[in-house]
Every structure is written in C-alpha cells, then in structure tokens.
Amino acid sequence: SQQGEEDPQALSIQEGENATMNCSYKTSINNLQWYRQNSGRGLVHLILIRSNEREKHSGRLRVTLDTSKKSSSLLITASRAADTASYFCATGSGNTPLVFGKGTRLSVIA
C-alpha cells in the first residue's frame, strides 16, 4: 500500500506563478523526500526534509512538513516551462524502503 498521497493529481499554471503540491501520509516517518520526473525519464531527487525539521529551502523550492497533520507541501516559486513534470513525495521510516505516492502532474504554460 502507498504511504504518501499527493494532491492535486494535476495542476496547470501560467509561467511565473507559484505551484503548490501537497502530500499526506499515514504513519510516522523519519524523513520525507520530493522527486521530479520529466516525461519519459527516471525520477530525480529534489529535496529531503527530516521529521524534526519544519521547513527547508533549495533554490526556488520550499518544502514544509507538519508531522502533527502528517502532511508536507512543496512550493515552486516563479515557475518556468521547464518545471513541467510529475512530482512525487516519498516517505522513509525505520528499515523499510521509501514508499512513493502517485504523484502530481504539473503543467506550466508559457
């Protein structure tokens, strides 16, 4: 069964706008990661946030984690056409492999 569940399933925005994707999960975690997948390619790691962290930044990416609500959000600021991709959250806990969600498809229209 899949731990993380992204919302929305699909998102379409104009270039320059901000994109926000959410991830909810069910059990306690050690860390939560976000990955990007361009069409026809493998996943690429974007950012990792530990369970004792609340917010993390990397360039135009901002990730928040609320362990009390078992949720995370990924914010991409000033989006570009090149940000068009699917975004997946993945949760890590204990000695079990990462569990990936079903992803959010982001389309950035120029």
Partner 1 sequence: NAGVTQTPKFRVLKTGQSMTLLCAQDMNHEYMYWYRQDPGMGLRLIHYSVGEGTTAKGEVPDGYNVSRLKKQNFLLGLESAAPSQTSVYFCASSYLTFAGQGSIQYFGAGTRLSVL
Bridge partners, residue 93, by sequence: 96
Binding site for partner 1 (CB under 8 A): 1-2, 30-31, 33, 35, 40-45, 48, 50, 88, 90, 92-103
**Minimal distance, residue 72 CB to partner 1, in Å:** 16
- Which residue, 35, 26, 23, is CA-closest to 3? 26
* Residue whose CB is less far from partner 1, 43 or 85: 43
Q: How far apart (Å, rounded) are the C-alpha atoms in residues 64 and 22?
A: 9
* Residue whose CB is less far from partner 1, 2 or 18: 2
Q: How far apart (Å, rounded) are the C-alpha atoms in residues 50 and 78?
A: 25
**Minimal distance, residue 105 CB to partner 1, in Å:** 10
**Minimal distance, residue 79 CB to partner 1, in Å:** 22
The DSSP bridge pattern shows strands 61-66 and 104-109 to be unpaired
Place of tokens 């806990």: 93
* Residue whose CB is less far from partner 1, 79 or 104: 104
